[in-house]
Every structure is written in structure tokens, then in C-alpha cells.
Structure 1
Amino acid sequence: MAQSSDPNNRPKPGPLPPAPHSNDPPAIPPSSWAKRTGFRPRFSGETNATDSGPISNPPAPKPAVNGIAAQPANAQVQVQGQGDKDQAVKKRREGEGRLPRKPGVNRQANNAVAEAPAAPAVQPSRRGVRNGDVENPVPRMVNDEFVSRQAHMKYELRDTPGLVPIGFYGFQHYLSMMGSLILIPLVIVPAMGGDHEDMSMVVSTVLFVSGITTLLQANFGSRLPLIQGPSFVFLAPALAIIKSPEFLGLNGNNFKHIMKELQGAIIIASAFQALLGYSGLMTLLLRLINPVVVSPTVAAVGLSFYSYGFPQMGACLEIGMVQILLVIMFSLYLRKISLLGHRIFLIYAVPLGLAITWAMSFLLTEAGAYKYDGCDVNIPTSNMISDHCRKHVARMKTCRADASHALNSSPWFRFPYPLQWGIPVFNWKMAVVMCVVSVISSVDSVGSYHASSLLVASRPPTPGVVSRGIGLEGLCSVLAGLWGTGTGSTSLTENVHTIAVTKMGSRTAVELGAFILIILSLVGKVGGFIASIPQVMVAGLLCIMWAMLVALGLSNLRYSEAGSSRNIIIIGLSLFLSLSVPAYFQQYGLSPNSNSPVPTYFQPYIVASHGPFRSQYRGVNYVMNTLLSFHMVIAFIVAVVLDNTVPGSKQERGVYVWSEPDAARREPAVVKDYGLPFRVGKMFKWVRWVGL
């Protein structure tokens, strides 16, 4: 019999349950925020299959039981949709591995959706959600710069939207990296005693070689959109060779003599790097290189020049500080302002800051702010009689916009050619130093390959592709040594930041930009214009670029568990010892009151003459004292030893995941991303360690 709906006739509830005994322990709340919210951390980008997961073979089918083959749970769904699936596979094969992309979804996501089998329906759990369990975990926080390429990149690796957009983006790509391309010649040429004409010629040579090597790397190397150029990794050894004891006593213009010594060391070290890549040894070294190794090594490169940047800028603070503040304002405070769909201030922060500061220096120079009675900036300091002029000559040369005559003296057309400084001089001790540095350069490039591939390519490269890229970087550095740029040529670390900021990862755009760079290098006035940048602005740019290099190095930790105590200790020890150990070598045997002819900001590079390592072999003393005074060498040694000996899981270490060669060769998209053009790959198909 149905109960009446009258509320007065409803049965009254029974008595309340007894209260818990006062001696019972209280309920224990969840022990952590993660348990209360259901948070599941994703420390490593390697765990995301759509970003950096390797290409692996499909799992083997389940074995038959009692003669009956195992059937998947969704077999009926698969049979019903078999016709549609075959049609999708046919279209995908006709498109050579590249499905039509939906708005906001990348190519790889479409492939994953098309290839994934239909999942069986999940029955809702009858068990209620307990206190502390959360059905929707908190999503991971994503940086506004390094977000997934699905929503970030405008053009990926093989995109070619048209000649005009590609030309614009290619020129923009190089312009945003202008500081990395031109700053090293502006440092080493004055250190070698070169004049403004020598500096103009070296700048033009650097632009020419950078364009040539970028074209080679984009077609026959890693095939990633990475600009090649003079790396800051080679700056410290170049300065150490320049300030060697045998060169300190030279009189007159010793620029060409020292440049030939640098060329010989670079050529030998580059041949060693090419052998490291093309012999397959790099594939073995990749097992030791992980984010915990790359991060402190690259960061130590930027930290090693702290004694040069601001001391050089201190001679003219009113210009140098304005430049740094402008770049900070453009790149941080105004970074989200968009004009015509482009973040102008973020992309062109360095060129805009340089242009405004240069105009300010020109106005102050014309107004007579740096003019002193009876003093001429063109007269050498040794010929000045007045103490008043000697006191202000450094400020005049640093601050004045017309201190350099490179623009007026440079020709309109000049073609850089090999051996333009003379026949290289080969010295074994300098070559050994450069060979060790080439290994550090390879470590830097490995991090750039991995990070850039996550942004622009369908999959990470295979170990063979990485080895091929390192080998070609060695050949490119041989070209840099023959032409005489003063440093080796490698993939610039700033490439990753530039790709993320400009949202441009097209290989064609970088190649077109390289052609533009080659044409500009043939115009002598371009090199003269760059060489005429006042020294204080060069120092300000170096402060910014070295700080960016430190940040880019530390950003590699996002692929590992940055909060792990293991990684924290390894990174901390690597960075601290990379500063402390070289300081011991650099300060050993120096008297505090000694009057050294070398400026204070160059004294860390004369360690070969007074270092603590003293044996009966002078060459060995030179090599050991010089190498152990390099911050990046100490950081690399400490990090690679600790990371590969201290136990830790792959997720904790953030081990780089590269694509499997066998599966990559069967993936059309990966073959088109990394395969060599013009059927060159078929000629070297038997060389497994330099290809797919």
C-alpha cells in the first residue's frame, strides 16, 4: 500500500546516533596540499607524449589463451568503424604523414587522435568521492613563454606561408638575435690590438660565415631552424689565448699574429668536434648529457663574464644604465603590448634599446657633454702630455658617438675570403684547450636541439640526427677558422628564446634570412656601422646577453624535477664550484699591489702565467691552468660526474628522450623533418649514427 503524501502522516525520524566517545582520536586531515586537492605534478616535459615523447614501436598483441585469440574490449566498436578508419588511414598516407590541422590543434595532436583506437566506455564508480579526493586535479601551471606549440607557434618547421611573410619573419629572426652575432668581435678585436678597420672586417666576416653555416646546418645538419654564429662558449678560451704570456710582450699592431694563432687552434678543435659527431661517439656521449648537466654548464658560461660587463660600463653610467633600463622596460613591462599582431617591444627589445641609447649618445656628443679643452680622442694615450686629458680619455672613448671612424673608413663592397689574415699557426697547447671547449659547445647544442624540436618539429630528433648536427657544427667551425672570425661557429643558445618569442619556427624563413645576412655582409658599410657602436653600449648589451644566457641555461631544469633534493644539491654544487675553483686559479700568485699592464677585467684570462699547476712541462702547465680557470669546464665536470653517479629515476633526472631510429624511419612526418634533401640521405643510409 502506498504511503500518503500528507506530511502530517509521515513517520517521524528515529533518535540521533550516539555521540562519539571523548577518548576517540580526532579525524586526521590530509597530510599535504597535494593529497587534499588531488594534484598530480608533471615535472618533466618528457612525460608529455605530444611534446617530447619518443617514437616507439606498437605494443605486441596479447598471446592466445586455449587457442582463442584475445579480443580487445572495444572489438565491436572497432568493427563498426573499420570503414571510416581505413578511409582516415588512406587520407593520412596520401598526405605523407601530415593530416589537415584544425584551428588551434597541431599536426601531432591530429595524428594522435586519428591513430588512437577507440577506448572502451568507462563505467562510473559506485564508490562515492571520499573527503580529500578530487575528481578534477589542479592543472599544471604553464609559463607564458614556453607553452605548448599547439597554441603557441605561428609557423612550424616545414610551413611556408609565402615569400613576403617568410622574408619578413626571417629578417625579424636575425634582427632579434643581433646582439649574439656581433658582440664577440667587438670584444676580441680591441683585446688583440686591432683598430676600427680590423673590427669592421671581422664583423663582416662573422656575418658572412654565419649565413653560410646556417644554410649548411638547416639542410645537412640537424635541419632545425637554428642560427649558427660565434658562441659565447668560445669567448673565454679566445681571451685566454689572446692574453697568453708569449703575446704580452709584442709591440705594435699584433692583431694579425694573434688571429692566426686563434685560427689554428679553432681549426684543430673543429676537426675534433666533426670527428666526435660523424664517428658516432656523440651518440654515446648523449647518454651522459641530461638537463641537470646542460643547465649549470650553460649558466656558467654567462656567469663567467661578470667581471667584464659592468666594470666596462662604469666609465659612462648615464648611457649604460639607460640602455639596460630600456631593455628591461621593453622586454618585461611592455612585453604584452601588441602592434599589428606582433609583440614589437618583446621581439625587438635589444635593437630598440640600442637605437634609443645611441641617439642619446649622439645628442650628448653634439652638445659637448664629452668635450674637454685641449683633448683629442684620436690622439693615443701614450702621446698625451696633459694629465687632464689622460684623466678623461677613457670617458671620451667610451661615451662619445664619434669615437670610432669605422663607418667612414670602410668600403662599400668587400668580399670576405679564406685566409685573409694569413696562414694559420698551429700550437698544440692552444689546440688542446679549444678541443675541450668544443665538447662544452656540443653540450650546449644538445640542449638547443632538444628544446627547439619540442617547439617546431613533429618529434624530437634521433640520436643519429643529433650526432649529424654536431658533426656539421665541427665542419662549420673549420670554415670559421679558415675565414678568421676569431671563434668557432655553433648553434646559438638564444635560438630557443627567439623561436618562443617570435612564434616562428619555419626552416625556410631562417634560410631566407641567411641569404639576406650574406648579402649584407658584402656591404662594407654595414660592418663599419656595427663596428662604430660605442664601447659603453657594447658593455651594456653584453650584460643583457650574458644574463639571458644564464636564464636560458637554468630553464633546462623544467625538463627535470627542479624541486628534487638530489637535483638541487647537484646544481648548487656545480654553480658554486664553477665560480670558486676558477677564482682560486685566477688569484693564485697575484700580488694585490702589482701594476699589471693588463686591465683588471682581463686579468682572469692571464692565469697561464701564474697558475698553481707547475710542472717541468710548460705546455702541460698552460693547458691545466687555463682549463681549470674556465667556469664552464668546472661546472660541466661536477655536473656530469654527480648526475651520472648519484642514483635517481629518469623522471627525476629529466633524461632527454630522443626518437627511436627504426620507428622514425617509418614515420613520414619525421622523415620530412629530419631527412637529408636531394637524396643525400640515401647515399649515407648505411651510416646509421649520422641519420635517421
Structure 2
Amino acid sequence: MAIGSSSSDSRPNPTGPDPQSQREVKGANANKKIDPFVPRTDHNPRELRSWAKRTGFVSTFSYETTTSNDTATPTPASDLYNRAVDNNNDHRNGGSSPKIEIDPILGRTRQLNSRIEIEPESRPGNDDRGLGLRDESKKRIVGNDVLGAIPNKDEVGLNGTGNEPKKGEVNDFDHVGIEVYPSGEERIADEGWNNRQSGMRYGLRDNPGFALLMYYGLQHYLSLAGSLIFIPLIIVPAMGGTDRDTAEVISTMLLISGITTILHSYFGTRLPLVQGSSFVYLAPALVIINAREYRNLTEHKFRHIMRELQGAIIVGSLFQSILGVTGFMSLLLRLINPVVVAPTVAAVGLAFFSYGFPQAGSCVEISIPLILLVLIFTLYLRGISIFGHRIFQIYAVPLSVLMIWTYAFFLTAGGAYNYKGCSPDIPSSNILVDACRKHAYTMQHCRTDASDAWRTAAWVRIPYPLQWGVPIFHFRTSLIMIIVSLVASVDSVGTYHSTSLLVNSKPPTPRIVSRGIALEGFCSVLAGIWGCGTGSTTLTENVHTVNITKVASRRVVEIGAAFLILFSLIGKVGAILASIPQALAASILCFMWGLIVSLGLSTLQYSQTASFRNITIVGVSLFLGLTIPAYFQQYQPESSLILPSYFVPYAAASNGPVQTSSKQFDFAMNALMSLNMVVTLLVAFVLDSTVPGSRQERGVYIWSRAEDMATDTSLHADYSLPSKVSRFFC
């Protein structure tokens, strides 16, 4: 009977498999945990960890539905598989449409049962493959059929990798770059500012070889030319300096920028960041330059004001170094986030709207073509590639300046600025005829031969410390620069975080950030001792340069810095740059300041941009950061009778509404409240710290932990000090 029963049970069932057993098998398969195909030991910046979630990054790959609460947890892989299989079966059986979920970041709907993109496995190394970046030419899309059932071993599972496509097969997605934005939308990759899919040509620790190092080093600094050389063209003439003084200050800035960049590459955050004269220090420098007691100076005016700036910069920079060395910067990092950084950096660029085109408008035949040309190169011709390099996007500023400078030379040689009886060499105060006074102003700003820097500059000159004299220290100017150093630190923190994500590295630890801020303070002390007129800090525009060149190697930045040091010793190089017409310089600065505004606002991508809380804080802080300084700047307009119109906003320190018994305190407070970036930072900081909001909503920067340095080899290699230096530090 037992044998007969067994034979009877083994006969095939004509009605098919038992439904109950079929459901049990399917349930077992669905709940079965799928292990990764290859264990991942290196860091993948696209892997959704806590720092990515809390900085506003939402991926369509993991189908996360986290809310703004800090307690949100990712969906387990088993649940993800079950939901994908169930949705697939619903489609096959004519079930209802898939559930529509709401994107927690932007409030847009997205469909759960969408195609899933399988990323290639991670490989060791520091190139784009090792960083886990996808190769656009080998992108594979897995549809519902694969998720529902795996007919053979060659198909691809949810966490596995499959065979290469058979020869002759054509995949539509092999020829299209898909950009997955935080909103969950799929768009054609633009390779613009926000393109996270495109990898770097050279990573942080890559060495492309000597020849390419030379090329990329020059390329990196040429793309930053507008930020490195144009500040002296503004401040030196305002200080009463000669064309030779302008050339010498430019050479000094090149030297300090080269030295401080190398120092930061070895002892700072070690990110590929260029140090230089920042626009953060330009507005406070102009405020000090236009103080009432300096307006009537005639003898040694340039040297006296430069020594005043040197003393203020040294004191403010020492405060910044103490901020980093003592670890107090690590405490401030908890309060610094994109909602504070974005309006502050944007206010740095907006602060010069009264200088930009009013100064450039003196020669509209030069300024308008230059602005149009740099916009055409940057926006309309950015996709044109020559020998694999997008030269119009990378060299937009130097190409535009060179072409329009040549055009201005032909205008000058053709007599466009020749006015009978008028000479640009005669001071405007000595010209009696109003028409001739206007023509003299035009000639000074438009003619390419108006500067005598080339004739007076030496061929070889080595900038040296205290070359303008012993610094002068006053409480009022020192207090201004102390507050400005805080603004520079906030600016640098945002740049550190953005650059670390851009080069596909983990964010640095708070200790590394503090180390970078401390070194920036030391570098600004060097700038004060040498007499650059402004402090030396991380250039925000460097983020844009790394993004468009796709070169993130710190060796490239170091070689470029060595070139700057070499050029600084050749006096004629500074003389050539000092010969740029002022109208041309103001025109290109209109673009550079606008770029700073856009880079500042772009940091909002790490927060919830659709949050009413965030957009209100940013909007109110920006508006108050413009209108409150305007009140201080226009309080007593008698300065408008003495100063040029574009310098009137920087004369509020001597004429502001704050009037107490202390003249030093009055000067400092009126100056600080007339600075757009200071007021914007104050308003944004107070509002963001007091208005309730979750960490994810605010986009709080998530930094790496200190213990990760000992366990994560990639983090240690990216940020640790050189071995010969690290043993001297605890």
C-alpha cells in the first residue's frame, strides 16, 4: 500500500500545480534575501547613506520615501524586491496601476514601478571607475520582465550583474546620457554645472604625467584669471597708486596665491582648491580706502592706505586661525548649512552691482561686446568640443578678454579716442573745460595705451614682505576684518563641501575643515605681510572650474601654483595685466560677480528648495542684506560730491547713522552694516537657527566622523597629511 500510494502521488496532476504550493514557492522566492554580486569595500558616492539623505539627495534607484523627519529609515532590500515583484505581477494580470508616491524633497509625484538602472560594479582605484561612476556607453536598463521572473542564469537580478550584450544587439540607451535629478526626473544629460553623472578625467590623487600636468595646470589658472588679477585694477587706483604700483600688487598677489595654494594642498583640506585674493575682502577694503581721513591725502596716499589694510588683514586673519586651531570652528559647523551659505555667497557678488556697469559704461563700445562675448562662449558655445576640450567654456574669460582687448587696441590706433586739446595725462581737477574733462575720463578708461606700467615696470622683481612699510593697526579696521574673516570662513565651508561631492570623495571631517580654516587664516596673514590689499582665501569660482575641466587632481593645482610663483617674479607679466583698460576689467567683473551669485544659490540643491521655510529665509535675508546697507550708504549723501558715484556706497563708514562717544566703534559699526554680505549672513544665521526645521529640510551638512579616518582607506588617503608631516601632529 505504501508503494502504491507513493506511485499514485508521483503521477503528474492533469490540472496543473497545486495553487497553494505555488503561492508558497513564490512567497519563499520573494522573501529570499539577495546578496550583492561583488562585496563592496570602497566608497561609492552614489550610495545612499545618511549624509546623502540628509543633504537632500533622493534617488529613484532605492525607491526611498523618507520624510523630513530625522528618524526616516531606508527601505530594506527584501521589501524592495517584494514590491517590485508584486507590481510586476499586477501588470501581467491586468491589475491596477502602480501606486503613485510623493517625492519628499520637491513634492513631485513619481511612479514606483519604473525602470531600474543597474550600476556597474565598483572597482578599486581613484579613477572614475573606482569611484562607482557609470559608464554612459554601457548603461543597462532592466525592465519588469527581469524583476518578475528570471528565466535563465544569463539574466540580471536586482543586485547582480549580467553578461555583456550579444554582438549585434543595439540598446537605445547606449547612445543617450540620462541625468537623474533629485526630483526623480530623467533628462538628457547636459554636462553643465549640476551634472553628477559625468566623472572626472583625473581624480583627487591621480597624476596624469608631467606634460599633462603642465597643460592642465595652466588651464586651471587661466579659467580663474578673472578672480586672480582684477582686484588690484580696482583697489590700487582707488588708493591713489600709480600704474607701476598696480603691476607690483598684481605680481605680489600671484606670488601669494601660488604659495598659499601649495600650502593648502599639502597641509589644509588637501582638496584641489586655489587660494587667492577673494572678493569677500574687496568690499571692506573699499570701505577702508574711502574713509574720510584718506580722501584729502596727497603724499604717499597709496602706501599709507596699504599699510592700514595690512594691519587690519593681519588681525582678522589671526582671529580666523585661532578659530580653526582651537576647534571652535567645529562647533560652528553645526549651525552652517546651505540655507545660510547660499544667500551669504550670493550677497558677495550682489554687493558690487553699483560698481559693475556704471564703471564699464564709460566705454560701451568695449564693455557691451565683452559681456555678450563671454555669455556666448559660456552658454551658447559651451557644448562645442575641439580635440576633446570644451575651450569656449573653459577659456571663456581669457578668450573674451584677449579678443576685446585686441579690438580696443585697433580702436585706439584708429583714433577713436583722440580729442583735440585734451590729454589723458592731465588730472581731471586741472582741466577747466567740462567737455575736455569728460573726454579725459573716457581716454583714461578706454585707451589701451593709457597705462605706463609696461614702461615703468622692471623685468625681474621679487615681491618681499613689508614692501610698502610697517603695517598700521587700528581697532576700527581690525574689527571690520575680524567679522569679514567669519564671512570668508562660511564661504570656504560651503566650498569644501561642494568640492568634496564634486570630486566624488567623502566630505571631510570637522577636524579637517578646522585645519583648512586655520591654514586659510595663516595664508591671509602672509597676504597681509606681503601687502596684497586683501586676504587670501578659497576661491568659490574654483568649484565651477573643476566642474567644467573635469580635472580634480591636486597635483595639477600644485603645478599651476608653481607657474604663478614663476610669473610673479617677471615684472613685465604684472605690467601687461595692469595695462588692461579699466572699462574692460569692469565688464568682465560683471560676469564674474554674477557667477559668484549663481554658485552661491546653487548650494541650495543640498536642501529642500520647495520648503517655504527655506525659500523665505533665503529671500528675506537677501533682500534685507541689500536694503539695510542701502540705508547706511545713503544716510549722509555729501560724500557723493567728493567721490565717484560707484564709490559712494563704500563711504558709509564715516557718514553712517551710528553715532556714539567712540569714533572707532562708530566707524566699525557703520562699515559693517553697510556691507551686504555681513547683514545677509547675520539675518540668515538668526532665522535659520530660530525657525524650526528638520535636518533634512535644512540640508545640514553631514561631515565624516573622526573614527572613519582610521577605518576608511579612501578617506584617509584623500585628506590625511603627508606621512613626513603627520607625525609632528597629534
TM-score range, shorter chain: 0.7 to 0.9
Larger RCO: Structure 1 or Structure 2 (Cα < 8 Å, ≥ 6 residues apart)? 1
Question: Hey, what does 1:503 align to over in structure 2?
Answer: 550
Kept in 2, the 8 Å contact 1:299–1:553? The answer is yes
Which residue of structure 1 aligns with residue 690 of structure 2? 645
Native 8 Å contact 1:203 1:527 kept in 2: yes
Deviation of the 1:451 alpha carbon: 0.6
Q: In structure 2, how many angstroms separate the alpha carbons of the residues matched to 1:235 and 1:673?
A: 32
511, 535, 546: which one pairs with 2:582?
A: 535
Q: Secondary structure at the match of 2:659?
A: coil
- 1:463 alignment partner in structure 2: 510
Q: Distance in 2 between matches of 1:306 and 1:678?
A: 47
Q: Structure 1 residues 140, 623: closer, same or farther in 2, change over 3 A?
A: farther
Q: Taking structure 2 as the reference length, what is the TM-score of the superposition?
A: 0.76
Tell me the SS of whatever aligns to 1:229: strand
TM-fit CA distance, 1:138: 5.0
Work out the CA distance in 2 between the residues paired with 1:595 and 1:243: 12
Aligned partner of 2:242: which letter? D
Match of 2:131 among 107, 128, 149: 107
Corresponding position of 1:197: 244
Local SS of the residue matching 1:684: coil
Question: How do 1:530-569 and structure 2 match up within 5 A?
Answer: 530-569=577-616
Q: Secondary structure at the match of 1:607?
A: coil
1:479-507 alpha-carbon deviations (Å, 9 max, x no partner): 00000000000000001000000111000
SS in 1 for 2:276: strand
Aligned residues: 580
**1:255 aligned partner, one-letter code:** F
Offset from partner CA, 1:620-660 (integer Å, 9 cap, x none): 11111111111001110111111121111222111111111
2:571 paired residue number = 524
Distance across 1 between alignment mates of 2:60 and 2:512: 20
Instruction: Kindly provide the amino acid, as one letter, of the partner of residue 565 in structure 1.
Output: F
Q: Which amino acid aligns with 2:199?
A: H
Instruction: Report the CA distance between 1:163 and its aligned residue.
Output: 0.6
CA–CA separation in structure 2 for the residues paired with 1:672 and 1:597:
57
Q: 1:169 aligns with which of 216, 227, 232?
A: 216
Q: CA deviation at 1:148?
A: 5.8
CA deviation after TM superposition for structure 1 residue 390, in Å: 1.5
Contact 1:185 1:202 in 2 (8 A): yes
**Percent identity between the two aligned chains:** 54
SS at match of 2:468: coil
- Judge which range, 141-150 or 464-473, deviates more: 141-150
2:680 equivalent in structure 1: 635
Q: Is residue 127–residue 202 contact of structure 2 (8 Å, CA) maintained in 1?
A: no
Distance 1:519 1:287 in 2: 41
Cα distance 1:143–1:651, how it changes in 2: closer, same or farther (>3 A)?
farther
**Cα pair distance change 1:431/1:140, threshold 3 Å:** farther
- Counterpart in 1 of 2:644? 599
1:416 match: secondary structure: coil
- Aligned equivalents of 1:455 and 1:319: distance in 2? 36
Displacement after TM superposition at 1:680 (Å): 2.0
Point out where structure 1 has 5 or more consecutive residues left out of the alignment: 4-40, 51-71, 74-97, 111-121, 126-136, 686-692
Aligned partner of 2:552: which letter? G
Q: Can you list the C-alpha shifts for 1:195-252, whole angstroms capped at 9, x where unaligned?
A: 1010000000000000000000000001011000000000111011111122122123
Equivalent of residue 526 in structure 2, options 453, 473, 479: 479
Could you report, residue by residue, the CA deviation over 1:170-191 in whole angstroms, capped at 9, with x for unpaired residues? 1100000001001111100001
Pair 1:232 & 2:256 matched:
no
Question: 2: distance between equivalents of 1:679 and 1:44?
Answer: 35
Once the two structures are TM-superposed, the CA of residue 384 in structure 1 deviates from its matched residue by 3.0
1: distance between equivalents of 2:636 and 2:401? 40
What is the match of residue 235 of structure 2?
188
Task: Give the root-mean-square deviation of aligned CA atoms.
Answer: 2.5
Letter in 1 for 2:695: K
**Matched position secondary structure for 1:218:** helix
2: distance between equivalents of 1:599 and 1:263? Answer: 25
Q: Would you say the 8 A contact 2:274–2:542 is kept in 1?
A: yes
Q: Tell me if 1:684 matches 2:729.
A: yes
Q: State which of 675, 679, 683 in structure 1 corresponds to 2:720.
A: 675
Match among 416, 424, 449 for residue 402 of structure 1: 449
For residues 218 and 394 of structure 1, do their structure 2 counterparts lie closer, same or farther at Cα, with a shift above 3 Å needed? same
The 1:327/1:179 distance shift into structure 2, 3 A limit, reads same
Relative to structure 1, is the Cα distance of residues 302 and 526 closer, same or farther in structure 2, using a 3 angstrom cutoff? same
The match for 1:285 among 320, 332, 344 is 332
**Bigger CA drift: 404-413 or 294-303?**
404-413
Partner of 2:657: 612
Using structure 1 for the length normalisation, give the TM-score.
Answer: 0.80
1:139, CA displacement in angstroms?
3.8
Please state how far the C-alpha of 1:468 moved relative to its aligned partner: 0.2
| Mapping for residues 340-419 of structure 1, pairs under 5 Å | 340-419=387-466
d(CA) in 1 for partners of 2:190, 2:689? 29
Rate the CA distance shift 1:595–1:334 in 2: closer, same or farther, 3 A.
closer
The CA deviation string for residues 20-67 of structure 1, in whole angstroms up to 9 with x for no partner, is xxxxxxxxxxxxxxxxxxxxx9894556799xxxxxxxxxxxxxxxxx
Answering whether residue 701 of structure 2 is matched by residue 660 of structure 1, we say no
